Chain A
Amino acid sequence: MRVVRAAGLPLLTFVLFVGVWEWIVRHFEIPPFLVPAPSAVAGAFVRGFAEANYLGHAATTAFQAVAGFLAGSALGIALGVWVVVFPTAERIVYPYVVALQTVPKVAIAPLMIVWFGFGIESKIIIVALVSLFPVLVNVIAGLKSVDQDRLDLMSALSASRWQVLRYLRFPNALPFIFAGLNTAIVFSVIGAIVGEFVGANRGVGFLILQANFALDIAAAFALFVVLSIMGVTLHAILRWIEGRVVFWAKAEEHFRA
């Protein structure tokens, strides 16, 4: 009952929005190559999956996004731990990381295609580069923001640097790391699409370019829907994992008080 009531209002506004959109397009006879009617988008969506293998292309894009996200995040976590455990490393490595970050990834995407080809490898590397930074920044912040009391507790037990990392700093950083991962997963879909725009023969980005060239705007809209379903699903999966792993994070504020 509560679910129905909670979902009721958003559903009603959605139906209203789509209805008004459909009416405007029909009433003012807006050409379909400018703004397609929702019914046309729905038609393109169904046709795409039935005839144009949208599922296969979406799987390619999703695979590139997830693989790149995993690689970039793993690298971000490893680099962050390294930089915090060895402060000299921070002074040497961090300027390069910041320099890399200030270069828009769109600008280096063509280079990645040249180096790693038209296939999925180049996209995975682009996605990894995009995912790396938000994770790295949060890992460093999380590993460093430890209560002095907790550090004193570990020092009083003569804990080694690695024990402090294992028993205190790393678990303490997990809520921060997930904040970084949540940003990275959104960036990862963007990265995959950018890679496909620059050069690909598969994937949702490739299909969007094709649809635009053919002025098949209804298909482009249908592909936007595919992308947002993909993004929302990946984000939801990550939030679910986050809830399992950092189950204490919500209680933390209350706990400290």
Chain B
Amino acid sequence: MTETALSIRDLGMVFRRGEASVEALAKVDLSIADREFVAIVGPSGCGKSTLLKLVTGLRKPTRGVIMLYGRPVEGPRSDVGIVFQSPVLLPWRTVLDNVLLPADVLHLPRAEYRDKALGLLELVGLGGFANNYPQELSGGMQQRAAIARALVHDAPLLLMDEPFGALDAMTREGMNIELQRIWAASRKTVLFITHSIAEAVFLADRIVVMSLRPGRILDIIENPMPRMRSLDDTLTPEFGELVRRVRVLLGGQGVAL
């Protein structure tokens, strides 16, 4: 058994606004092994983004414990890299300087990390764009730069919150293949949030299926399909069966998908 990267115990989150309160998450238990790729899929408003925010330490849970590499999460941590729904690049910084932002903030030696950042840009397929500004790149390329930024400070855990949600279907498929490659090359642990069942099945070792509010884990489905997966693999009966199982679980929620 490999080391546990992330362990979530009895996590609950209630949002209060005045008198009203909304239970976003209830009794979430989840363990992710080191170098595992786990996708969380669920309907809109199932609290999957809330779950991710709690893991990042940007919000505090109402109940429960999150352990990251054996230490409880009590605030933002430098051992996670985050990719948001939008690229969130700073337009006054070049692509390279955007990737180096975590190094600047964490007071890491710039000269050393410059080479690392250039290597990462190469890895995400932006080798020739280090000195361009983000606004000169397409949406998909901007999101690649954001992935490079999340990887630059050597965080072993990568949290991705619907990173390809804003991209068109073609670009999205391409990015899924790229991400699998980047994940394999960088040997990271990934927690990936998505509302696309096909994307979750394609990318993940395990697919966590969440219910409608309050979000709880309906089931965790293992994906035994071998790496590296190609787009052709998505046409196999095995892939179709996995997609069907997830859909049935979600269908029981009365959610149109």
Contact = CB atoms under 8 A, between A and B. Distances in A.
A159 B56 CA distance: 14
Count chain A CB atoms within 10 A of each CB in B57, B76, B106 and give the residue with the most.
B76
A149 B105 contact: no
A171 interface: yes
B57 to A, nearest CB: 8
B91 A251 contact: yes
B101 A157 contact: yes
B88 A158 contact: no
B135 A156 contact: no
B104 interface: yes
| B interface SS class | loop
A171 B56 contact: no
Contacts of A159: 105
Contact of A153 (B88, B134, B135): B88
B86 A157 contact: no
Given A157-B76, A157-B105, A248-B135, A149 B90 contact: no
B119 interface: no
Nearest to A163: B105
Interface residues of A, number: 23
Interface in B45-79: 56-58, 75-78
A147 to B, nearest CB: 8
Contacts of A255: 91, 134-135
Contacts of B102: 157
A153 B91 contact: no
A29 interface: no
B6 interface: no
Interface string A221-252: 00000000000000000000000001110011
| A interface SS class | helix
B148 to A, nearest CB: 14
A49 B88 CA distance: 55
B74 to A, nearest CB: 11
A154 B135 contact: no
A150 interface: yes
A157 B106 contact: yes
A59 to B, nearest CB: 35
B133 interface: yes
A76 B56 CA distance: 37
A146 B135 CA distance: 18
18 contacts: A152-B58, A152-B88, A156-B57, A156-B58, A156-B80, A157-B76, A157-B101, A157-B105, A158-B77, A167-B90, A171-B90, A171-B92, A174-B92, A248-B133, A251-B91, A251-B133, A251-B135, A255-B135
In order of increasing CB-CB distance, the 9 nearest A-B pairs are A248-B91, A255-B135, A251-B135, A157-B105, A171-B92, A158-B76, A149-B88, A159-B105, A156-B82
Interface of B: 56-58, 75-78, 80, 82, 84, 86, 88, 90-92, 101-102, 104-106, 133-136
